[in-house]
């Protein structure tokens, strides 16, 4: 479908890129991190965006994100040059 509009040069939708004094925007951002024995890590992030340009019955967009990872192991070198 998109290629049909590209070939014809038509614009399927117009976008209002202007900002007026009546427009309202608000965003929240939070993050939580947890580590277990400094080896395993979990991170959770949540962003919420609100705008008066969104649909009236759904003025908020929610964007959660999570990550789980294992930290790199670290070899400690003793003063005599041996590894532990």
Domain span holding position 30: 24-71
Q: How many domains does the chain have?
A: 1
User: For position 58, what pLDDT does the model report?
Assistant: 86
52 lies in some domain:
yes
Tell me if residue 23 falls in helix, strand or coil.
Answer: coil
34 lies in some domain:
yes
7 lies in some domain:
no
Tens digit of each residue's pLDDT (9 = 90 or more) over 7-23: 555 555 555 666 677 78
Burial class (CB in 10 A: 0-12, 13-18, 19+), 47: middle
76 lies in some domain:
no
2 lies in some domain:
no
36 lies in some domain:
yes
Q: What is the model's pTM?
A: 0.56
């Amino acid at each position: 479908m998109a290629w049909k509009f590209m070939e014809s040069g038509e614009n399927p939708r117009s976008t209002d890129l202007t900002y007026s004094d009546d427009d309202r925007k608000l965003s929240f951002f939070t993050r939580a991190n947890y580590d277990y024995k400094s080896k395993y890590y979990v991170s959770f992030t949540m962003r919420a965006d609100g705008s008066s340009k969104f649909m009236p019955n759904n003025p908020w967009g929610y964007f959660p994100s999570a990550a789980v990872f294992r930290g790199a192991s670290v070899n400690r070198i003793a003063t005599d040059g041996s590894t532990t």
